[in-house]
Amino acid sequence: MKTLYIVRHGETDWNKMGKYQGITDVPLNENGLNQAKACGQALKDVKFDRILSSDLSRALVTAEVIRGERTTPITVDKRLRELNFGDWEAMLFSDIEDRWPGLIDEMYLRPHLVKVPNGESFKNLQDRAWEGLEEFINVNNEEETLLIACHGGTIRTLLCKLLDISISHCWNFSQGNTAINRIFYNGMGEFDHNILNLLNDTAHVDILQGHA
């Protein structure tokens, strides 16, 4: 069995503004960096054997901060990027709604059916992200604890894959900034069962913001 800690990146200014950032390389803001530090503190006693990260800086810096003083190697893979939002990149919800009335709501209601204009579908995202994660997991057959740092949409589609759930349910999973998800991974065979042991744990962010 392998234990997967899948963590969303910290906050960016575009997150705060409500802009769709997708594959645009938007850095962590000060709050996002503090969130990553708090997440690292929450995971300080976990021994990570290997780390995988999206190549976008908001995820990679989050991974580096969580790693801290450990010497664990980080593998960077662009297949773990967020959904390519195509024409929606850098746009606000209201601007998208004005230009493509109803389509953004359709994406949230029926994510398995919608492809973003000049961008990706959630199936496209799931296929490439799973290819990268599966390759990383299968480097060896040893029992390991792995850290994966990536993006909200990416994580949702990976959870669907790992739990054998239709991608139409990807929005059923909340994913806050630096949310921690833990999965006990047994394989993807017919009789294998992967266990979602922790979902969207943001207690460290609540403490940071004085809400706990």
Residues involved in catalysis = 9, 82
Give the number of other Cβ atoms within 10 Å of residue 154's Cβ.
29
Strand boundaries in 106-179, DSSP class E: 144-150
Q: What is the CA radius of gyration of the chain?
A: 17
Residue indicated by tokens 């990268």: 132
Strand partners, 182: 5, 198
Nearest to 9 by CA among 136, 109, 154: 154
Maximum CA extent, the chain: 51
Strand partners, 19: 92
Nearest to 36 by CA among 59, 73, 65: 65
Size (the chain), residues? 212
Q: Which helix (H) or strand (E) holds 180?
A: strand 180-185
Q: Which helix (H) or strand (E) holds 75?
A: strand 74-76
